[in-house]
Amino acid sequence: ASILIWALSYYPRNVELSQNYSSLKESVIDDPLLSEADQEMKLTEIGKTEEAEKLEKSYIGQIGHLMEPVLSPLGFDWKIGVSILTGLAAKEIVVSTMGVLYQADPESDNGQEGLAQKLRDQVHTSGNRKGQQVFSPWVAIAFMLFILIYFPCVAVIAAIKKESNWKWATFTMFYTTVLAWMIAFIVNKTGNYFF
């Protein structure tokens, strides 16, 4: 599942980007006023911006943007939507999906702390919350509750189908997902209203 998520986030590679990142990199390299350390820092920043834009325009980014209108009342952005979608296979995949989407480096010295910092730094890139932090405390609580309650993994649905029938399996899929959405909505809106 992680490999599939990576492939969906990597392709297509020939997307039209908002800027010519190659020329930006060349201008940094050709700038005589920048020290070597400053050049490296600016080149790294440009590279991260380029990869973030490619990710948003990838297949998985397109799927996430399709889901965003349903999830935005919960305070979720498109990356959270993609994580929820991949969690249908198994809920533990949500974390690995977030690691791929937020470009966390598992080989780095800080490992999971790197992902946690990237989650704290994440801001909305569109909509009426543009520029605001994605993971406020209430959004984080709503997200955790949503993950705990929504659609059980595929193995559980298969077991329900085997023990009863498709009607109960389908009912379980929809009921738990709607319940998770309502609880996440209530938690997020109540928390933001009173606190």
Spatial distance between the Cα atoms of 113 and 160, rounded to a whole number of angstroms: 37
pLDDT at position 110? 52
- Tell me what pLDDT residue 16 has: 86
Torsion-angle region of 131 (φ positive above 0: left; ψ -120 to 50: alpha; else: beta): left
The pLDDT value recorded for residue 133 is 87
Q: Which two tokens stand for residue 187?
A: 């938690």
R_g of the chain, CA atoms, integer Å: 20
Residue among 105, 107, 108, 89 at smallest CA distance from 152: 89
Average pLDDT, 10 consecutive residues per value, the chain (195 residues): 79 85 88 87 85 85 91 91 87 84 62 74 81 89 96 89 94 96 96 86
DSSP state for residue 15 in the 8-state scheme: P
CB 182 within 8 A of CB 146: no
CA distance 88 to 173: 10
Count of CB atoms situated within 10 Å of the CB of 168: 14
Beta bridge partners of 133: 123
CA dist 77 to 38, 56, 61, 113, Å?
A: 32, 11, 11, 21
- Give dist(CA 58, CA 15) in Å, integer: 8
Report the pLDDT value the prediction gives residue 95, as an integer from 0 to 100.
87
